[in-house]
Structure 1
Amino acid sequence: MEKASYFIGICPPHLLEKQIHGIKEEFSQKYGIRAAFRSKAHITLQMPFNLPINKEEYFLNELGNELIKQKPIEIKLNDYGNFEPRVIFIKVDENRALDFLQKTVEQFLKQFQIFNSTHKNNGFNPHITIAFRDLKKPIFYKIWDEVKNRPFDEKFLADSISVFKHNGKSWDVLKELKFDNHQKLDI
């Protein structure tokens, strides 16, 4: 049975995504790092998992049905953080509605026998990665010195999630699943 790799995330709106892409580009040009370009800017709700390709359409339909009940969420991005010494990211402010959405997705995935919702069971730590994987320790510290006191202050209304699919080299948005847009949940 042929399988494909997927993950689930929240993508910021286009203009904010372009701004974050510019930050990735800045550090790519200075330090030659490229791994963060393998997917567009996103907040991961479910880390990569495998699913039989013949279940893809059913999976997307069922997840879409689950999200019909979800209200849009205001997301606040605030400054930079890191997982020393390999990941630098834009921080997402604490957000109960976002935590609830992640738990909803996690519970939904159990019916597909997918249980790896958080990295090494460290819990949900929402963020938008700007550098990782090909980031060596000396470069990590150079970039961290550049961003640790640099302000980043943006917010957006998340009214959908994106299911990404790996194409063999990078991650493409397979499908965007919209929430109920009648009412938002506050932070």
Structure 2
Amino acid sequence: MEKSMFFIGIGPPHPLEKKIQRIKEEFRQKHGIEGAFRSKAHITLQMPFNLSVNSEKDFIHELKKILIKQKPIELKLNDFGKFEPRVIFIKVDENEELDLLQKSVERFMKRFQVFNGTHKNNGFTPHITVAFRDLKKPTFHKIWDDVKNRTFKENFLADSITVFKHNGKSWDVFEEIKLDPQ
């Protein structure tokens, strides 16, 4: 049975995405790292999972059903954080609505036999990754020293959920599900 890899996230609006892209570009130019370019800027709600090609349409249909009454969520980005020694990210302020949305997605995923919602029991730490994968320890520390005191403050209205699909090299938008503004 043929399978594809997906993940579910929330992407910032285009102007903010471009601002985050410039940070990734800065790291690529200064340090030669490119791992964060494999996907658009996003907050992960469900980490990567495999899904049968035959189940894709049903999956999207059922996901839309659980999101039908989900209201957009105001999110605040606030400076930089890290998962030492391999990930540097933009922090998302604590948000009860976002936590409830993630738990709802996690419960939904169990219906499709996906159980990795809180990888290694680390819980849900919403963030937007700006450097990872090809980030080695010495480079990690150089970048962290550069950003640990840097200010990054932005707000945005999360008014859609995006399902990303892996194309073999990077992640493409597979389906964007608009949230109910009512």
TM-score, normalising length: structure 2: 0.99
Partner amino acid for 2:133? Answer: R
Partner residue, 2:166: 166
Aligned length: 182
In the TM superposition, structure 1's runs of 4+ consecutive aligned residues that sit over 3 Å from their partners are: none
SS at match of 1:18: helix
Measured in 2, the distance between the counterparts of 1:145 and 1:29 equals 17
The reply to whether residue 24 of structure 1 matches residue 32 of structure 2 is no
More divergent stretch after superposition (110-119 vs 162-171): 110-119
Report deviation, 1:118. 2.0
Measured in 1, the distance between the counterparts of 2:48 and 2:84 equals 21
Partner amino acid for 1:73? Answer: I
The reply to whether residue 92 of structure 1 matches residue 92 of structure 2 is yes
Partner amino acid for 1:54? Answer: N
Measured in 2, the distance between the counterparts of 1:3 and 1:135 equals 29
Q: Deviations over 1:31-61 (max 9, x none)?
A: 0000000000000000000000110011001
SS at match of 1:4: strand
SS at match of 2:82: strand
Q: Deviations over 1:10-47 (max 9, x none)?
A: 00000000000000000001100000000000000000
Partner residue, 1:75: 75
SS at match of 1:76: strand
Partner residue, 2:124: 124
Report deviation, 1:94. 0.3
The runs of 5 or more residues in structure 1 that have no matched partner are 183-187
Report deviation, 1:147. 0.3
TM-score, normalising length: structure 1: 0.96
Partner residue, 1:15: 15
Partner residue, 2:140: 140
Report deviation, 1:178. 1.0
Partner residue, 1:185: none
SS at match of 1:29: helix
Report deviation, 1:121. 1.6
Aligned positions of 1:47-66 closer than 5 A: 47-66=47-66
Q: Deviations over 1:47-101 (max 9, x none)?
A: 0000001100110011011101101100000000000111000000000000000
Partner amino acid for 1:84? Answer: E
